[in-house]
Amino acid sequence: MKTARWHGVKDIRVEDIPEPKPGKGEVKIKVAWAGICGSDLHEYLAGPIFVPVDEDHPLSHDKAPITMGHEYCGTVSELGEGVTDVAVGDRVAIEPIFACGTCPACLEGKYNLCDTLGFVGLSGGHGGFAAYSVVPARMVHKMPDQLSMEQGALVEPAAVALHAVRLSRIKAGDTAAVFGAGPIGLLVVESLRVAGASEIHVVEPSEVRRRKALDLGATSAIDPTTQDAVAAIRAATGGVHVAFEVTGVPQVLPNCIDATRHEGQVLVVSIWESEASFQPNSVVLKERQLQGTIAYRNVYPAVMALMTQGYFSADQMVTKRIPLDKIVAEGFEALVAEKSQVKILVEAPD
């Protein structure tokens, strides 16, 4: 079958590999759509970050070259021995987290904080940039009938955003700032609307993405190349209750901190390619809180329920649809060159 596999930095190849078979407790999925994630782009431009290269990942038992793609959905085509929770023909969204189940975080139910955390399509396994995928049955979530397959490919990134907002201290009526209006940043805007934020100020250099943020309910969309974003946010709010860092750009982190009020909170959502620095006094003197967030846990059903209410709409988020064999030129390279792109979906081959 055709797959897109990571071999190294700027070396993703569309190539044929054997079609996978489900083992005990596993499910085989005919992939429909898979999204290109910011994490995928980091691996393409500056990896390996999650991709295991020298040794197999302890949970996927796989290493480069790996089939990429972790934001995906499809139809169950075959069941491994002992699988009873889903049936052939079910439409499913994939929750692609590898977790050991035995470390302290896993035993607390916080499997996204697993000591050996991994992701299908980043840490090995049968990723979604392929005709078929095989995953453990616990990773599949049946989709409501009213959701399209394109919506299914957005469940994973929407889960990242909703988990970040749930982890924050935002309360109905509070103010918020979102630095970065890529796909996750825009989904954070929608999640903040769900949470009842009274004002949502977005900072983003791309005009197309700023317009999209306003369409999705942002109060303002600030171009940091033409004005002082922190000053604008503080003039409007006196400092927001919570700021979300969704850029991974080192100089943005101190701006996020400065945009919050006393006892404000910063949620760091990005995956980083390099170090970032800030003056600790900016946190100390205002008793601010700096909080990290990774992936999601126990949130897929809530995401899909919100989707049935019109949130996290593919019609709003998807700016391009491409075939798998064009994934490098029209997918990864387009995301590098065209900041007008938001979410690019890859259609699985037959």
pLDDT above 90: residue 321:
yes
Say what the pLDDT of residue 57 is.
97
pLDDT above 90: residue 350:
no
Structure token pair of residue 121:
């399509």
Q: Please, what's the b/e burial string for 98-118 (b: 16 or more CB within 10 A of its CB; e: otherwise)?
A: bbbeebebbeeeebbbbeebb
- Per-residue pLDDT of 85-128, as tens digits, reads 999 999 999 999 999 999 999 999 999 999 999 999 999 999 99
pLDDT above 90: residue 340:
no
Question: Mean pLDDT across the stretch 319-345?
Answer: 94
In contact, 272 and 248? CB cutoff 8 Å: yes
Question: Domain spanning 2-142+319-347: which CATH class is it, in words?
Answer: alpha beta
Say what the pLDDT of residue 8 is.
97
In contact, 22 and 30? CB cutoff 8 Å: no
Average pLDDT, the chain: 97
- Per-residue pLDDT of 277-317, as tens digits, reads 999 999 999 999 999 999 999 999 999 999 999 999 999 99
Question: Mean pLDDT across the stretch 264-270?
Answer: 97
Residue 75 to residue 143: CA distance in whole angstroms: 10
Distances (CA, A) of 218 to 193, 215, 223, 309: 9, 7, 14, 19
Helix, coil or strand: residue 18:
coil
- Beta pairing, strands 71-79 & 260-268: unpaired
| CATH of segment(s) 159-292 | 3.40.50.720
Instruction: Report the first-to-last Cα separation within the chain, whole angstroms.
Output: 9
Say what the pLDDT of residue 305 is.
98
Helix, coil or strand: residue 68:
coil
Domains in the chain: boundaries: 2-142+319-347, 159-292
Structure token pair of residue 330:
């029209």
* pTM > 0.95: yes or no: yes
- Per-residue pLDDT of 150-195, as tens digits, reads 999 999 999 999 999 999 999 999 999 999 999 999 999 999 999 9
Long-range CB pairs of 143-149, under 8 A, 24+ apart, other chains included: 143/73, 143/91, 143/92, 143/93, 143/304, 144/304, 144/305, 144/307, 144/308, 146/308, 147/304, 147/307, 147/308, 148/314, 149/32, 149/33, 149/73, 149/74, 149/91
Nearest to 12 by CA among 322, 321, 332: 332
Say which DSSP state 332 is in: I
2-142+319-347 against 159-292: fold identical = no
Say what the pLDDT of residue 339 is.
81
Structure token pair of residue 230:
């922190």
Give residue 52's Cα distance to chain centre: 20
Beta bridge partners of 142: 92
Rounded to 5 degrees, φ, ψ at 141 are -125, 120
- Per-residue pLDDT of 138-153, as tens digits, reads 999 999 999 999 999 9
